[in-house]
Structure 1
Amino acid sequence: MTALYSLLHLIFCFCSITLIVLSSEEDTSELRLERLLQMVFGAMVLFVGLEELTDIRNVERLKKELRASYHLIDSFLGESELIGDLTQCVDCVIPPEGSFLQEALSGFAEATGTAFVSLVVSGRVVAATESWWRLGTPESVLLPWLVGSLPLQAARDYPVYLPHGSPTVPHRLLTLTLLPGLELCLLCGPRPSLSQLDSQLLERWWQPLLDPLRACLPLGPRALPDGFQLHTDILGLLLLHLELKRCLFTVEPLGDKEPSAEQRRRLLRNFYTLVTTTQFPPESGTPEKAEDVVHPAQLPRACYLVLGPGSGWQLVALQLGMRLLLLLLSPQSPTHGLRSLATHTLHALTPIL
């Protein structure tokens, strides 16, 4: 990060900002670097607003204000357990009693007069109001990521700009810790104040749901509830709903096997980049030439990769409609059964995302 901050210091004098990212990893993809830069710029807008970055009037003041974004930017550069920075989809978890949590969340939002409310565990969204789900990119990814990156605190009142929805007018991000690691987030205007969110209001809506709330705490790394059964060959999975811009990402269905959790995350991230750029290109946009048109029948729906020599771990990707599933599988999983296993897993996961 020091090099990045030094770079910003050098170019502020030209009244514009240019972000440059350098990577020492030989296999780092252009997609990964491009989306990293988008997240970094989004984080800067989140804290200081777009006008401060496009019309720099006081360099020293801007540098001081940008310090608030350093912690969030640092979290993009580390080995995060999240993947929304790459997929541009919101990291989610599936709570065991989601309907009760959703009902309480809607009631709490109505009682506080706030349309944008969510429950966040370890940077992942557990439940949210419809208005929260309609937040655009990148704020839909940045806000829960920010909450998950901050140290534990009973309550917060943050001024934030929305890079897509409101880049020049700040909103307030209120957070309330219901349980250590589980936070209630509100995106609002001048009201309500933190003092209006008193203990009686919280107890009314959340005290009766203490057990379902506790059940959310281990969902951070696993994403799926304990009762959800996955095939024993699955070492990690990434499921994306491309229309809703939500994803499930876990490398802990069976955490006691090789490779390590860090390696699993890296393998799935690299495989996502590969299949996104080569096998399942975005279908949006208008091709410039008639010969560039790709008909749906010509698009692949599944692909796999066997790693070697020595490891034998297998990766398979399957796209059906607006859902894309990536699986990391153990070496003993038969290659001829990869598509069948992926199809069965996707059908099992479809009702919950």
Structure 2
Amino acid sequence: MEESSVFLLCLTASSGVPLYCRSKGSSRQLTFSVIGSLNGVHMFANNQDVLLTSTCTENSRVVWRTFHDSINLIVMSCENSASDLSLNKLLENIFSAMVLVIGLDELISIKNVERLKKDLRACYKLIDSFLTESEKMADLTQCVDCVIAHDVAILQECLDGFTQAAESDFGCLIAGGKVVAATEKWWRLASQDVLLLCWLVASLSPHSSRDYPVYLPQGSPTVPHRLLTFQLVPGVDVCVLCGPSPSLQKVQSELVERFWKPIVDPLKACLRVQLRSFPASVPLHRGILGLLLVNRDLNKSLYTVQAHPMDDMQRTELKITLEQRRAALRSFYTLSLSRYFNPDSADGKNIPYEEQFASGFSHHAHQCYTVSSSHKCYGLKTELHQLFLIFKPEVPTFSMQTIAKKTLQLFTKDFPF
């Protein structure tokens, strides 16, 4: 298999009937014998009262998850950055994506396998986006990707007024799949629900307006809501989560132009900060190549691997490409969360696919770093934030802590996030 290939299998838990197979980075599909073997070894382990969660070979990693004793998901990845943590997050997102589109009842009580296969086709675009997306980090952090835009106060005011006029409390403004502004109650939704709604909008083909039925995996997995979306300018959509009323036509004809036409320029400006995720006026140390800032309290994050876009445009050859930066930041985040920054669990229990800290250490780390020939990484954890930075290799190792603390201060005081 190719080094970057990923295979995702979905089967019924009771009989092992394949429901779908999706892949990334490979022109070949898995044979039926391989699919049967992967599912068979998991079923055999279950019959022996053994929970099989993951295994590794020389060039791949395999993770199994069963959801509601009904659906088996198996992922096999040949990517170097693959880990138990990242692959488990992927499977959680995939199952939640299935719930979002067709509802939990259809997945728990499978009455007709062929009909379920047909219904699941509506999930393919969203599922594939989790396999192939590289411009966002929410799939791994479970915190919504955001941007700090110019004129955010104006955008927020228009969004609040538009959402209220549409008879809803749940509204969101999205640019390039990242949240620019959202109503207070939108942020009160479960973080995974918000994440999935944003990814759904980004995965669909551009359209002037939509009326899309959705189930909220955490908030309402069995009762659908209506997701209304409207393209304000190419790349910028406003979304409203509502009940039976109002009609799509009424909102589009009476409200969209009234609230959003006067602020077309601020809307277009949202796209100009999309790659960096924050305005050029936010000063960053010149040695920083990429940044991931997680607000653990609000479940939102800032992410970029183009901390200085103009510098990257002027350099014909990059020591570490944008794709390599993305892979390095994802890998460092996974390493930090699984080994050093013990995530807080609501019930106080360790999550089974996260590694224990090295034996002999009773404390939890609050800072960590790695050094390689092409880049350096530094992680910093506080009560409310987690900050992960990629540096140029020439940045002195001893200075990374100071730079990280100043960067965190920048986003907590000067440009609050």
The reply to whether TM is greater than 0.5 is: yes
Q: Which residue of 1 aligns with 2:131?
A: 77
Q: Which residue of 1 aligns with 2:85?
A: 31
Q: Which moves more between the two structures, 211-220 or 85-94?
A: 211-220
Letter in 1 for 2:380: L
Aligned ranges 1:268-279 → 2 under 5 Å: 268-279=329-340
Q: Which residue of 1 aligns with 2:369?
A: 304
Question: Are residues 185 and 50 of structure 1, via their aligned partners in 2, closer, same or farther at CA, if it must alter by over 3 Å?
Answer: same
Q: Which residue of 1 aligns with 2:40?
A: none
Question: Are residues 345 and 64 of structure 1, via their aligned partners in 2, closer, same or farther at CA, if it must alter by over 3 Å?
Answer: same
Please point out which of 173, 176, 199 is paired with 1:119: 173
SS at match of 1:25: coil
Query: Take 1:328 and 1:168, find their aligned partners in 2: how far apart are those partners?
Result: 42
Q: C-alpha displacement at 1:222, in angstroms?
A: 1.5
- Aligned residues between the structures: 343
Is 2:348 the counterpart of 1:286?
Answer: yes
Q: Which residue of 2 aligns with 1:339?
A: 401
Is 2:385 the counterpart of 1:323?
Answer: yes
Is 2:319 the counterpart of 1:258?
Answer: yes
Aligned ranges 1:118-267 → 2 under 5 Å: 118-255=172-309, 256=312, 257-267=318-328
SS at match of 1:283: coil
Q: C-alpha displacement at 1:337, in angstroms?
A: 0.7
Indicate the RMSD between aligned Cα atoms, in angstroms. 2.2
Q: C-alpha displacement at 1:6, in angstroms?
A: 7.0
Structure having the higher helix fraction is 1
Please point out which of 113, 133, 143 is paired with 1:89: 143
Is 2:17 the counterpart of 1:11?
Answer: yes
Q: Which residue of 2 aligns with 1:62?
A: 116
Q: Which moves more between the two structures, 338-347 or 99-108?
A: 99-108
SS at match of 2:71: coil
Kept after mapping to 1: 8 A contact 2:229/2:240: yes
Query: Take 1:348 and 1:111, find their aligned partners in 2: how far apart are those partners?
Result: 36
Q: Which residue of 2 aligns with 1:314?
A: 376
Letter in 2 for 1:270: S
Letter in 2 for 1:206: W
Q: Which moves more between the two structures, 210-219 or 340-349?
A: 210-219
Q: C-alpha displacement at 1:200, in angstroms?
A: 4.0
Give the TM-score normalised by the residue count of structure 1: 0.92
Kept after mapping to 1: 8 A contact 2:235/2:271: yes
Question: Are residues 337 and 100 of structure 1, via their aligned partners in 2, closer, same or farther at CA, if it must alter by over 3 Å?
Answer: same
Q: C-alpha displacement at 1:128, in angstroms?
A: 0.3
- Gapped regions of structure 1 (runs ≥ 5): none
Question: Are residues 130 and 22 of structure 1, via their aligned partners in 2, closer, same or farther at CA, if it must alter by over 3 Å?
Answer: same
Query: Take 1:287 and 1:183, find their aligned partners in 2: how far apart are those partners?
Result: 39
Q: C-alpha displacement at 1:83, in angstroms?
A: 0.7
Query: Take 1:4 and 1:321, find their aligned partners in 2: how far apart are those partners?
Result: 36
SS at match of 2:271: coil
Q: Which moves more between the two structures, 191-200 or 151-160?
A: 191-200
Kept after mapping to 2: 8 A contact 1:11/1:17: no
Q: C-alpha displacement at 1:2, in angstroms?
A: 10
Letter in 2 for 1:140: V
Q: C-alpha displacement at 1:33, in angstroms?
A: 0.7
Give the TM-score normalised by the residue count of structure 2: 0.78
Q: C-alpha displacement at 1:137, in angstroms?
A: 3.5
Q: C-alpha displacement at 1:261, in angstroms?
A: 1.2
Query: Take 2:83 and 2:229, find their aligned partners in 1: how far apart are those partners?
Result: 35
Kept after mapping to 2: 8 A contact 1:79/1:262: no
Letter in 2 for 1:194: L
Query: Take 1:247 and 1:158, find their aligned partners in 2: how far apart are those partners?
Result: 26
Q: C-alpha displacement at 1:167, in angstroms?
A: 0.3
Kept after mapping to 2: 8 A contact 1:301/1:320: yes
Q: C-alpha displacement at 1:219, in angstroms?
A: 2.5
Q: Which moves more between the two structures, 343-352 or 235-244?
A: 343-352
SS at match of 2:377: strand
Q: C-alpha displacement at 1:262, in angstroms?
A: 1.0
Question: Are residues 302 and 5 of structure 1, via their aligned partners in 2, closer, same or farther at CA, if it must alter by over 3 Å?
Answer: closer
Letter in 2 for 1:149: S
Query: Take 1:345 and 1:3, find their aligned partners in 2: how far apart are those partners?
Result: 38
